[in-house]
Amino acid sequence: MQKNNMITFTLIAIIILLIVIIGLMIFQLMKAKKSKENAEENFYALERKVNDLQLETLESKLNPHLFKNILNSIQSHAYQTYFALDKLANVLDYILYESKKKFVTAKDEIDFALNLIEINKIKISPLFELQIKTNINKEDKLYDQALLAPLISIDLIENAFKHADLQSSDAFISAVFEFKDNAFFMTVSNKISDKKVLKKERSGLGNTTLEHRLRIIYKNNFKLERFTENNIYIAHLKIDLLGYKTEMLASGR
């Protein structure tokens, strides 16, 4: 009888010990999980701060660069100054008030891009073929939501006017803006000039800025392609705003 009691006591002691050990393990696992979550939260907070700082640095370089190009265009064609200044007023309003926002609507960015093209038109002959098209599905629920980074269209437009062949009879610049399936599309193409563009100090800022901004903001929710076919340079940008918004909501941003 005493032997059975000893066995029972031993089993109870072992069970209690196991419960304590399991409890300690669970506590340690929960503590480790909490530490991991805190570490991840701190990491993402730091990442957001770094990204915000990078964007602020990029934007501080971007706006003066844009102003310089616009003013050079107006100065080189003084006879169209009144028209250009009217468009410039719209561009300045956008830069001063809208571009400081983290996001704008697709409608606002497309309107800005069209005004910027009008300013750049004074660089070229009235006979030059400039094709501008828009294909907008205003029924898409994200068209009027602020999800698009401001000034995202500058680089592709300015590069087209900078590198286009403006002399040959078959020269052209084409810009197509689309909004469908809750995604923003922009395609710019131009006949490439045979003349090499004179590289200025600090030139090429736009190319680096655009891709850097896209990676920081949209991560895997964008696609930027640049290629040449039959002496025609084509740049195509797609930003999946629905995918981006879904990720934002999931991460609680």
Residue 3: inside a domain? no
Residue-by-residue DSSP string for 54-108:
HHHHHHHHHHHHHHHHHHHHHHHTGGGHHHHHHHHHHHHHIIIIITTSS-B-HHH
Note the pLDDT of residue 10. Answer: 66
Note the pLDDT of residue 198. Answer: 44
Residue 2: inside a domain? no
User: d(Cα 18, Cα 35) in Å, to the nearest integer?
Assistant: 25
Note the pLDDT of residue 122. Answer: 77
Domains: count for the chain: 1
Return the H-helix or E-strand segment holding 2. helix 2-76
Residue 23: inside a domain? no
Could you report the per-residue pLDDT of 31-67, keeping only the tens digit for each? 766 666 665 565 555 556 555 645 555 555 555 556 6
Residue-by-residue DSSP string for 231-244:
TEEEEEEEEEHHHH
Note the pLDDT of residue 20. Answer: 66
Residue-by-residue DSSP string for 98-158:
ITTSS-B-HHHHHHHHHHHHHHHGGGS-TTSEEEEEEEE-TTSTTTTSS-BPTTTTHHHHH
- Give yes or no for residue 192 having a pLDDT over 90: no
Q: Which amino acid is at 200?
A: K
Note the pLDDT of residue 91. Answer: 80
- Give yes or no for residue 92 having a pLDDT over 90: no
Note the pLDDT of residue 98. Answer: 82
Q: What's the whole-number mean pLDDT along residues 81-89?
A: 69
- Hey, what are 146's tokens? 């602020």
Q: What's the whole-number mean pLDDT along residues 163-175?
A: 85
- Looking at per-residue pLDDT, the higher value among 81 and 216 belongs to 216
Residue 101: inside a domain? yes
Q: How large is the angle between the packed helices 106-120 and 154-163, nearest 10 degrees? A: 20
- Looking at per-residue pLDDT, the higher value among 236 and 45 belongs to 236
Full strand arrangement of the beta sheet holding 129-136: 129-136, 172-180, 183-191, 232-240, 222-229
The residue range of the domain holding 237 is: 37-251
Residue 94: inside a domain? yes
3-state secondary structure of 35: helix
Residue 85: inside a domain? yes
User: d(Cα 93, Cα 82) in Å, to the nearest integer?
Assistant: 17
158: Cβ contacts below 8 Å, ≥ 6 apart = 66, 69, 120, 206
Residue 5: inside a domain? no
Residue 17: inside a domain? no
| Backbone phi and psi for residue 221, each to the nearest 5 degrees, phi listed first | -100, 30
Q: Which amino acid is at 205?
A: L
Note the pLDDT of residue 7. Answer: 59
Q: What is the CATH number of the domain that holds 201?
A: 3.30.565.10
What one-character DSSP code corresponds to residue 195?
A: S
Is the pTM here over 0.75, yes or no? Answer: no
What one-character DSSP code corresponds to residue 15?
A: H
Note the pLDDT of residue 88. Answer: 74
User: d(Cα 239, Cα 98) in Å, to the nearest integer?
Assistant: 19
- Whole-angstrom CA distances from 13 to 3, 20, 22 are 15, 10, 14
Range with the lowest mean pLDDT among 20-29, 91-100, 111-120, 147-156? 20-29
